[in-house]
Amino acid sequence: MRTDLFTDEHELFRESVRGFVEREVAPHVEEWEKVGRIDPKLWRTAGEQGLLGLGVPEEYGGGGTADYRFRCVIMEELARVGAASVNVALGGFDDLIGPYLVDLGTEEQKRRWLPGLCSGVKGAAIAMTEPGAGSDLRGIRTTAVRDGDDWILNGSKTFITGGSRADVIIVVARTDPDAGARGFTLLVVEGDMPGFTRGRALDKLGQRAEDVSELFFDDVRVPATHVLGTEGGGFGHLMERLPKERLSIAYYGLAAGEAALRWTIDYTKERHAFGKPVAEFQNSKFVLAEMATELDVTRAYLDRSVLALNAGELSAVDAAQAKWWATELQQRVINRCLQLHGGYGYMREYPIARAFVDARVQTIYGGTTEIMKEIVGRDLVK
């Protein structure tokens, strides 16, 4: 069941996005998954199509729209062809890095970094997670010490999406060990700064085409002009922007679940067992009905959440509810869809198999399901 979330303008944009996906993404997904990397040319092509930096003002090379529904269209079209890796690769800028630079950057910072990122000429990453600090960001040990007009940055980060090709990296560092949550600052590291090195590309279960890397900082001298936002305000800056990231993960989870259901309906109508299509068995119809209903109910909540984000009214609790529910539903739906594919569902040549492994990380990154429930529960009993 479609809702009235999208207007004619969004559907016109969808036609352009679908053409891009069918030409530049769908024919290459399998190869990119095998080699473990997306062709770097994709970012430039996406930039030329105006698919990067949708929310970045036009004067910095972006699309100049604050309407998140355009990004939702891109997620749906990528989910339709099972391109989860590409969604993470392209969405990392629009859902994560872009908002930080637009909201917190100085005029000089915006002009220095945004045009190259919106064009796809440069790549970006945000480095929060460390070997000993995942969902608990207060456990971050990467430090930055002031030295004249610079900060001296030391530490390491892991599980950094886009780390191997990033020219601009927003690093969360502890700048005052005695200030608690107010002791963190965001520093922008450029890829050619002495002392910055990239570690190995990590071997992941799913989303294999998108690189996830280790990053190391050994006495990296970062100019004070590269502080993003306010000194000591890093933790607050992160908390303010996490709802958008979590909604994006939730929305892709919904889109991926809807795509899996469509694939499965088509498959069970064509696949025969005991003399009739699998779709005609009562159990098949019941399972399909249950999944369709859960997805429709979830879409109603997420559509409302997208409109709340557009209006600047999406709360951290609303985003946490959306994130844990939609990603857990994604797991259930894709698991049941794979079951209805039978043995063929276990073969990677079928998109449901790749969707199965790609989905698993959805309940982990951006804050685990358990952390999301903690946020919601804490709000209920405060």
- Cβ atoms of 232 and 185 within 8 Å: the answer is yes
Which residue type does 131 have? P
Closest CA to 21 of 68, 90, 93: 90
- Cβ atoms of 84 and 252 within 8 Å: the answer is yes
User: Active-site residues: which are they?
Assistant: 245
Q: What is the dihedral of CA 363, 367, 373, 379, to 10 degrees?
A: -150
Tell me the C-alpha distance between 377 and 219, whole Å.
Answer: 41
Characterize the bridge pairing of strands 166-174 and 123-127.
Answer: parallel
- Cβ atoms of 143 and 171 within 8 Å: the answer is no
Tell me the C-alpha distance between 95 and 91, whole Å.
Answer: 6
Closest CA to 371 of 188, 224, 249: 249
Tell me the C-alpha distance between 50 and 245, whole Å.
Answer: 21
